[in-house]
Amino acid sequence: MLSAEEAQILGTSFWVAANAVLWSLPFAIATAFALSRRFPGKLALEGVTHLPIILPPVLVGFLLLMLFGQRGPIGGLLAEAGIHLAFTAKGAALATAVMTFPVFVRSIRLAFEATHHSLFEAAAVLRAGPRDRFFSIALPLAGPGILAGVMMAFATALGEFGAVITFAANIPGQTQTLPLAIYAVLQEPGGEAEALRLAGLSFVLAMLGLAAAAALQRWAGRRLSG
């Protein structure tokens, strides 16, 4: 049975992860589809896409703070419109979205690459434009793979730590997700038992997310092979 504090932490974690996935979904689909094709500059786009998993997460959080903080070039403009991201739950979702983006793109890209190119060639012969080919062929066939990518990104988002604590801080009831809560209780004397309880909860959620993603990927494989 979860305590009120644990339920709040879990709710914050779900909110941050869900918004991170929803905000990045259109960009992940567009980037994954582009990377599944050949075009000039593909290597550069691939490098930029995978940058968050190459750089230290704390550095990513610091760069977000420089850009989206109230004194940053983007954060200053948003602040004038009454939108604040740094040290807020929305900021935690933004940092999480950036860190999980490479995993998200990779999962969706595999789904696009599994689609047989003869389908696009046949559609082109029938004079279907690029937009028609994308929405009538590529997107529907990649649908199960995209759902698998959503589950994988969500499971990954639940475990994000470095960028979130740097950009959004560790504020109980606002930005404190499961990993941040584990870190917080470990700083307290005798907090090992609570940390172990939260770690177990985090492990169970991660395994459920991975299992769902694997099941969806198998379904996508059977659907495409059929």
Least trusted range by pLDDT, from 115-129, 135-149, 155-169, 208-222:
115-129
pLDDT in tens, 50-107: 999 999 999 999 999 999 998 889 999 999 888 999 999 999 999 999 999 999 999 8
Percent of the chain's residues with pLDDT above 70: 89
pLDDT at 202: 87
pLDDT at 123: 58
List, as one string, the DSSP characters of the chain. Answer: ---HHHHHHHHHHHHHHHHHHHHHHHHHHHHHHHHTS--TTHHHHHHHHTHHHHS-HHHHHHHHHHHHSTTSHHHHHHHHTT---TTSHHHHHHHHHHHHHHHHHHHHHHHHHTS-HHHHHHHHHTT--HHHHIIIIIHHHHHHHHHHHHHHHHHHHTT--HHHHHHT---TTTT--HHHHHHHHHTSTT-HHHHHHHHHHHHHHHHHHHHHHHHHHHHHHHHHH-
Architecture of the 4-225 domain: Orthogonal Bundle (1.10)
